[in-house]
């Protein structure tokens, strides 16, 4: 007899970082350990230079770590970088798209790079453009589109091969409120299908509303993580906003009072 899967089974691990380290003139990422489950929206917060983008670039294979391990849905990203990249999407805050192509042509081109056949690429591409509100601009040259529209075209390009791990570095930059809501809806749909998202953002109200868990990185180290309620507890911050919690967590310790003679 076949039994249904247990609802208490351990969640699938979408991303695991083990002792991840990168040193430039100083440690940019310092022995970082992190686990993200399938279906989870994880947001990484930190001040400029804290190590967020360096971490994401190592996950995607754009930067080689000096030490540590990276696993994506059980694939070792260091020993099998091609296999890992095939299940990943990467989108930076300044995506590069081809100005003289239309969004449809761009998606067809990107899908071809991933080995997606033309018919499937067309189906996925038109669906993504529709979901992102870009159908009226599907045949316009990308150089005629606004920055926000170009950002959505780049997101469609990142998703056209149907990745399982979606890695986003400040993806909402340049989007108005309506466009940001559309993008968030597309990402939530992917999570419901068992994908995982790791994202950096400076827009703390977005992190507060969207994240299943939040990690706070400072000087290359993960100093706190959890739900907003758990971060409030760690920061001893009551019902404070995420902004106040974040600033409390990364604040340098107060100098000790000098001893009296």
User: Which strands form 13-23's sheet, in the order they lie side by side?
Assistant: 27-37, 13-23, 67-72, 75-76
What is the β-pairing status of strands 27-37 and 75-76? unpaired
The pLDDT tens digits of the residues spanning 183-210 come to: 999 999 999 999 999 999 888 888 888 8
Q: What is the pLDDT of residue 251?
A: 80
What pTM value is reported for the model? 0.89
Q: What is the pLDDT of residue 2?
A: 47
Crossing angle, helix 147-159 and helix 118-131, to 10 degrees? 140
**Low-confidence residues of the chain: pLDDT under 50:** 1-3, 6-8, 261
Find out whether 210 and 43 touch, Cβ atoms under 8 Å.
yes
Residue 140 CB: number of other CB atoms within 10 A?
A: 14
């Amino acid at each position: 007899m076949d039994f249904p899967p247990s609802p208490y089974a351990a969640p699938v691990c979408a991303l695991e970082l083990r002792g991840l380290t990168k040193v430039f003139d100083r440690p940019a990422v310092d022995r970082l350990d992190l686990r993200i489950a399938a279906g989870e929206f994880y947001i990484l917060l930190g001040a400029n230079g804290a190590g967020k983008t360096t971490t994401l670039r190592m996950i995607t294979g754009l930067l080689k770590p000096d030490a540590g391990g990276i696993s994506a849905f059980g694939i070792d990203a260091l020993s099998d970088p091609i296999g890992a990249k095939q299940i990943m999407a990467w989108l930076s805050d300044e995506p590069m798209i081809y100005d003289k192509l239309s969004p449809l042509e761009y998606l067809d081109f990107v899908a071809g790079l991933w080995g997606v056949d033309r018919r499937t690429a067309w189906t996925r591409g038109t669906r993504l453009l529709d979901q992102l509100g870009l159908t009226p601009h599907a045949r316009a040259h990308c150089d005629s589109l606004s920055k926000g529209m170009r950002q959505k075209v780049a997101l469609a390009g990142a998703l056209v091969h149907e990745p399982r791990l979606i890695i986003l570095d400040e993806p909402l930059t340049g989007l108005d409120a309506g466009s940001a809501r559309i993008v968030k809806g597309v990402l939530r749909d992917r999570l419901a299908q068992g994908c995982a998202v790791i994202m950096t953002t400076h827009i703390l109200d977005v992190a507060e509303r969207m994240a299943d868990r939040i990690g706070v990185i400072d000087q290359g180290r993960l100093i706190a993580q959890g739900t907003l309620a758990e971060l409030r507890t760690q920061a001893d911050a009551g019902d404070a906003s995420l902004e106040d919690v974040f600033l409390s967590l990364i604040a340098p310790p107060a100098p000790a009072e000098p001893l009296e003679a």
